[in-house]
Amino acid sequence: MNYDVIIIGAGPGGIFSAFELQRTAPELKVAIFETGNSLEKRVCPIDGKKITSCIGCKSCAIMNGFGGAGAFSDGKYNITNQFGGTLHEYIGKKEALELMEYVDRINLEHGGGGTKLYSTANSEFKKLCMQNGLHLLDASVRHLGTDINYKVLENLYSKLNDSVDFHFNTPVHSIKLIDGGYAVETDKGEFTAEKCIISAGRSGSKWMETVCRDLDIPTRSNRVDIGVRVELPYEVFSHITDKLYESKIVYRTEKFQDLVRTFCMNPKGAVVNENTNGIVTVNGHSYEDPALQTDNTNFALLVSKHFSEPFKDSNGYGESIARLSNMLGGGVMVQRFGDLVRGQRSNAKRIEEAFITPTLTATPGDLSLVMPKRILDGIIEMIYALDKVAPGTANDDTLLYGVEVKFYNMEVEISERLETRHKGLYVIGDCSGVTHSLSHASASGVFVARDIASRK
Ligand SMILES: Cc1cc2nc3c(=O)[nH]c(=O)nc-3n(C[C@H](O)[C@H](O)[C@H](O)COP(=O)(O)OP(=O)(O)OC[C@H]3O[C@@H](n4cnc5c(N)ncnc54)[C@H](O)[C@@H]3O)c2cc1C
């Protein structure tokens, strides 16, 4: 065998697997194979001047490389079992929380010290939400900020680089069962190991499907979340974000009884493009450094769609809606809330005259031509509900960018040790369908590393 453990993917799941293996079983020979670049070489070519929109690089600098999908993210580590994944259903609530707290400590020791931990529990705002038909979920939130998050990753990399073999720009094409372990096929040849941890994230979801087919690992289709990114002046939400930073608020619509929720709140942040498998969607982030902050706050409003038989391709459904917005807008589309409710397309003039400056250059358009009515009606209802706890949310000039899609990987059948039916083959992080956040993905990495160390 070339290695004791091969890790596929250098996102939070892969990084924390390697970190914990280095700490608990330093004698093991560990390698990480990663499609993307090392951290310092991850540069998106969009410079806003020569290149203004996505050119579809072979490996996306935003999604792939050391740090994974979260490398340029806001670095919000939500320490909770209430959202961000269902890791607790496999390993228990207590252990899941303890692991997320452990990850938080590691981040603090590696450059995150001094960042703020917010808590939503028992806040005045929770009461206000209840009084207005909104439900605020409980969580502790560590906000590293995009800049500190990057520093933490730099520090973790230099620590891991002492003992872990990194193979960047080396996608794993396939995994084979061999006598006593696994062989991974890459452009640089075949590498073998006794144990293999797959942590290929959301960008590796299609590849993961082929792995499960090849190795006969059962899967279940999952869900997709569809919605918009809302951008408004910072002041509208400041009474909430100053105290809680991130608030996850859930609302049940009157019309369809659907659940709409806020997601990824970025005070003084920026709206950004996201490229998943060539489809441009929208996301947001914010910096800890005041010099890099903006005058706006952004957050997503999402509606989850769960499909029943015979339809299985929930991600395909989300992709089709995102493709429609790409077709009409050449990328992401933006519309003023006032234009949306009046049934008119936003145009460049109306966006320019608005009392808010968009942080993302997007094509003014009409979201009602893209989003299914049921989803759009739910979003409009929630904006009016939020207006009661944050007056100004339903202002005409509130900007809605579309579409935001949260793709979920199919759920891979794994045991309570996060191991597949093949002994020593683990599937963790977002590609397992079990996690969809930095903290849960990282915690799943620590969990399997400890499992491997304990079974040595
Ligand atoms: C813009 C943005 C902002 C976000 N902000 C937050 C936030 O603030 N808080 C939060 O909790 N979550 C956030 N998320 C989500 C979070 O980043 C993910 O949940 C998390 O990164 C999942 O970690 P992971 O290790 O499972 O997968 P990823 O981080 O996706 O890492 C997987 C890695 O595997 C590599 N890979 C894929 N296939 C292969 C292959 N075949 N061979 C080799 N390598 C492969 C990929 O290149 C990638 O680097 C954000 C995501 C984005 C895109």
Q: Is the CB of 274 under 6 A from ligand 1?
A: yes
CA distance 250 to 105: 29
Closest C-alpha residue for ligand 1 atom 30: 201
Closest C-alpha residue for ligand 1 atom 19: 437
Q: Is the CB of 144 under 6 A from ligand 1?
A: no
Residue pLDDT, tens place only, 144-191: 999 999 999 999 999 999 999 999 999 999 999 999 999 999 999 999
Identify the sign of the CA torsion 195, 199, 204, 206. positive
Atom of ligand 1 nearest to the CA of 172: 42
Atom of ligand 1 nearest to the CA of 71: 17
Ligand 1 center–CA 182 separation, angstroms? 24
Q: Is the CB of 97 under 6 A from ligand 1?
A: no
Closest C-alpha residue for ligand 1 atom 5: 73
Ligand 1 center–CA 128 separation, angstroms? 34
Ligand 1 center–CA 339 separation, angstroms? 35
Mean predicted lDDT score pLDDT of the chain: 94
Do the beta carbons of residue 454 and residue 23 sit within 8 Å? no
Q: Is the CB of 9 under 6 A from ligand 1?
A: yes
pLDDT of residue 313: 82
pLDDT of residue 184: 98
CA distance 216 to 39: 34
Q: Is the CB of 104 under 6 A from ligand 1?
A: no
Mean pLDDT over 298-321 rounds to 89
pTM over 0.95: no
| Radius of gyration of the chain from its Cα atoms, rounded to whole angstroms | 22
Q: Is the CB of 382 under 6 A from ligand 1?
A: no
Residue pLDDT, tens place only, 78-136: 999 999 999 999 999 999 999 999 999 999 999 999 999 998 877 788 999 999 999 99
The pLDDT confidence band at residue 218, using thresholds 50, 70 and 90, is very high
Ligand 1 center–CA 76 separation, angstroms? 13
Looking up tokens 């269902």, which residue turns up? 86
pLDDT of residue 212: 97
Residues 6+ away with beta carbon under 8 Å from 414: 90, 420, 426, 427, 432, 434
Residue pLDDT, tens place only, 435-456: 999 999 999 999 999 999 998 7
pLDDT of residue 23: 97
pLDDT of residue 286: 87
pLDDT of residue 256: 93
Mean pLDDT over 396-412 rounds to 92
Q: Is the CB of 365 under 6 A from ligand 1?
A: no
